[in-house]
Amino acid sequence: MSKKQKTKFITADILKSAIGNAFIKLNPRYMMKNPVMFVVEVGCIITLILCFVPNLFGTTDIPNVRTYNIIVTIILFITVLFANFAEAVAEGRGKAQAASLKKTQKDTEARLIHEDGTEEIVSSSQLKKGDIVLVKTGEIIPNDGEVIEGVASVDESAITGESAPVVRESGGDFCSVTGGTTVVSDWLRIKITSSPGDSFLDRMIALVEGASRKKTPNEIALNTLLVSLTIIFMIVIITLYPIGIYSGVTLPVATLIALAVCLIPTTIGGLLSAIGIAGMDRVTRFNVIAMSGKAVEACGDVDTMILDKTGTITFGNRLAADFYPVGNADKNDLINCAVQSSLHDSTPEGKSTVELGRKLGCDIQEMDGAEYIEFSAQTRMSGVDLPDGTKIRKGASEAIQEYVVANGGTIPADLEERVNEVARLGGTPLTVCKGNVVLGVIYLKDTVKPGMRERFERLRAIGIKTIMCTGDNPLTAATIASEAGVDDFIAECKPEDKIRVIKEEQAHGKIVAMTGDGTNDAPALAQANVGLAMNSGTAAAKEAANMVDLDSNPTKILEVVEIGKQLLITRGSLTTFSIANDIAKYFAIIPAMFMSYIPALGVLNIMHLASPLSAILSALIFNAIIIPCLIPLAMKGVKYRPMNSSKMLRRNMLIYGLGGIIVPFVGIKIIDLIIHPLLMLLGLN
């Protein structure tokens, strides 16, 4: 499994860039994209004006009011700056990753093949979709494409970070190549599938830089909630001023602005964009290209996951595990014939049959004049014709039975029982015959990957249903499903069956995720809410999906779903913490504002803050410094633990809800103890 790329949380270069961008983002035209922090910036501008014209909105009884306004202005400015810094750090991490990716982009020379077969050396930037290029050993693949001829080893370490070369060949599901990778052996004839500037590498760079990041539906909904809360608090604050005048209470405008900034959800408002960018960043560090933030967010809402058996749940290499003779056949004769028919079989099944046979004492050598019959989908069998006229065949049980009967033989009574026995064990049965006599069955075993049961249990704990799709017969499918621990399975599955089950789940309001790599998977990938295509797969699969795994690891969907869950949990937890903060700040500022005029409100001063101004400034300072304190949590995400929704809600309410109330009480009190003596020195108390 591809491991997550390890990077420092923040480097010196990222820090330097983030500080500069934090100031650049102060531009009001940019700040308007974040309404909550824009309100804080407007408040900062108003208090800045009051620093020069203290009595603009009337006189107050605060001594040295100009100094008070200056302090409030500085704290508000720092609050906005910290919020911008959080977003800039998230963007900086993405840009740092993009810079390393850009190093792999080179304007290389390409060997363009014309229709008449002639070659022309052109710049890779001149290639267009549909062009045919030839790439030889040591040359860089100029752009994304599909192999139409040849077999070669390709070094994809520049893109995936994996050092071991991979084999790419025409046909099948491993024909896709990525621009910027290098052919290390042989040659490939490639059909270009993307235009310059639109390759997967280009898209990945744009995504990690944040240039093409759009707010997700949940992010927009939360932003709308934050704006609504801000408007409500602003209306309340604005009405306090005339009410105060009517009651004979003079409320300084700077204090009202401080109250507004403390009560509106500035903490989550300042971190919301950073959380979204960091979520995309975590996905790309798993070598997954998400075509949009919406795709990552959808992962967090997944209810049903559809997984291929071969290569995802199992290793996919069916290896010979045993030989079962049938009828009156001798086991040694079965082993000898199975090995003889597999000497030219280069598949894992054929090689493992020869290896197992030799371990059991068989020492068959290739015979001169023997004619080896390759496997074909039409006959569903392979074998060898020996010089003495003996014909040995191995293949699917039904095909071998038809072959034996057609040649005048009979079927042993215990053959079906043996075939079913292998199927019940989760294996694949291959039947062997010599002439018109059935000798027995080869037990091919497909092993479930270690840890799959535990991982499916984790998914089940958070309410995700897993469905295994396989072309195996129902008996084999049931055995593998039971061993792996999936919730359901579809045996003898066809591409249309995947689309059918996706639609059925979606009809019940479920969010569905699936993986695929072949052209026949494309319709299902497009239908699923989360479609993860393998980079080694076909262009059709990658175009249909909304995520592409550069490592081509089908089990990556499990990690991606957990990243999506973590994104939603992080956003929800910090929103809970932010809103809970307001309760403590309420008890700090409201009593402080009115205690001098309404002494009975002193009972609400449960923190026993030193003075009204000290209370207001302490709350305002805490409101500012809590943002950078939470940046590491926003970047790394709240630690993910599989559990059901109700348990997760209770846990987050306890930790981030109750914690969001307690932390400000402690923090504001500590700040009050520190700044009260300083305010006295400044003549503000």
Residue 56 in tokens: 């603009």
Length of the chain: 685
Q: What's CA 630's distance to the chain center, in Å? A: 22
Do 444 and 320 touch, CB atoms closer than 8 A?
Answer: yes
Known catalytic membership, residue 308: yes
Q: What's CA 270's distance to the chain center, in Å? A: 24
Query: Which residues are known binding-site members for Mg(2+)?
Result: 517, 521
Q: How far apart are CA 296 and CA 279, in angstroms?
A: 8
Q: How far apart are CA 601 and CA 321, in angstroms?
A: 82
Phi–psi pair at 677, nearest 5 degrees: -60, -35
Query: Which residues are known binding-site members?
Result: 345, 349, 375-382, 394, 517, 521
Residue whose pair of structure tokens reads 């348990």 in the numeric block? 647
Do 470 and 491 touch, CB atoms closer than 8 A?
Answer: yes
Specify the DSSP class assigned to residue 178. -
Residue 331 in tokens: 């086991």
Q: What are the angstrom distances between the C-alpha of 385 and each of 261, 330, 374, 430?
A: 87, 20, 11, 18
Using a 10 angstrom Cβ sphere, with 0-12 exposed, 13-18 middle and 19 or more buried, the burial of residue 327 is middle
Do 95 and 209 touch, CB atoms closer than 8 A?
Answer: yes
Query: Which residues are known binding-site members for ATP?
Result: 345, 349, 375-382, 394
Q: How far apart are CA 642 and CA 463, in angstroms?
A: 9
Among 521, 652, 609, 604, which residue's Cα sits nearest to residue 172? Answer: 521
Residue 338 in tokens: 């199975």
Q: Choose, from 144, 281, 308, 672, the residue flagged as catalytic.
A: 308
Residues labelled as active-site residues: 308
